Amino acid sequence: MGKLDGKVVIVTGGAGGIGQAICRTLVREGAAVVASDIDLPRCQKLVEEIEKSGGQAMAIQTDVTNKADIMRMVDTVMQKWGRIDILVNNAGIISFGPVAELAEEEWDRVLRINLKSVFLCSQAVMGAMKKQKSGKIVNMGSLAGKVGGIVVSSAYAASKAGVMCLTLSLAKELAPFNINVNALAPGPVDTDMTRAFPPGALDQTINQTPLKRQATPQDIANVVLFLVTEDSRHITGEVIDVNGGILMDI
């Protein structure tokens, strides 16, 4: 028996490194997982892998900045499984550069994908969760949202600060419906996003980290798993640091 038997999960950004790790981890605990991403082929490959191992999964191409697209995703999931128990708002992009050189279009793009998507996706699933009188929402914040842009741009840092503040608002609003809303604030994670750091920046960050390593996608997925099971039933409105202790040294 898995901790998530009978649960239906939507993971946005399901094609990326962290998203795939989350999908695999929740499936192992019995959940039916929807891998949602703009990159449909990578999601389909993941779903094939999950189904071969005996799990339940579905790939849905979704532009998480487009409300109509999101509603189609939610309708598809409800038609297939009749419920939505967990939403992991993991979709996001990274951005670099000083404020003085940041184009308005880049600011808007980062805020749409990283922050607006969390608002739209959460809004889209909360009706089903309210009817069920249960649900879990986990949002992906960032260390940068707490300390500002160091390696990353101000747009990225601001978007993640917004995600974490939105988490608190959602947690307060949805608590009467037995819906838990929490966020993670990872530091660097071994993904394509972190590999895009400017030369030397990642090594410098790791050296500054008390544990002297960056997180793996599985490290993040393990904390997500905790937050979406009944093990965390009395936790809501929290932002959990998953950064190897680097926040202590900043």
CA distance 105 to 103: 5
Alpha helix (H) residue ranges in the chain: 17-28, 40-52, 67-81, 104-111, 117-132, 144-147, 154-174, 192-195, 201-208, 217-228
Per-residue burial over 78-107, b = 16 or more CB atoms within 10 Å of its CB, e = otherwise: eeebebbbbbbbbbbbbbbbeeeebeeebb
Closest Cα partner for 90 from 139, 57, 42? 139
Q: Is 43 helix (H, G, I), strand (E, B) or coil?
A: helix
Residue in 107, 128, 155, 156 annotated catalytic: 156
User: Is 239 assigned a catalytic role?
Assistant: no
**Could you tell me which residues come within 8 angstroms of residue 11 by beta carbon, excluding any fewer than 6 positions away?**
19, 22, 23, 26, 33, 34, 35, 36, 88, 90
Between vectors from CA 181 to CA 241 and to CA 65, what angle results, nearest 5°?
95
- Catalytically active residues are 156
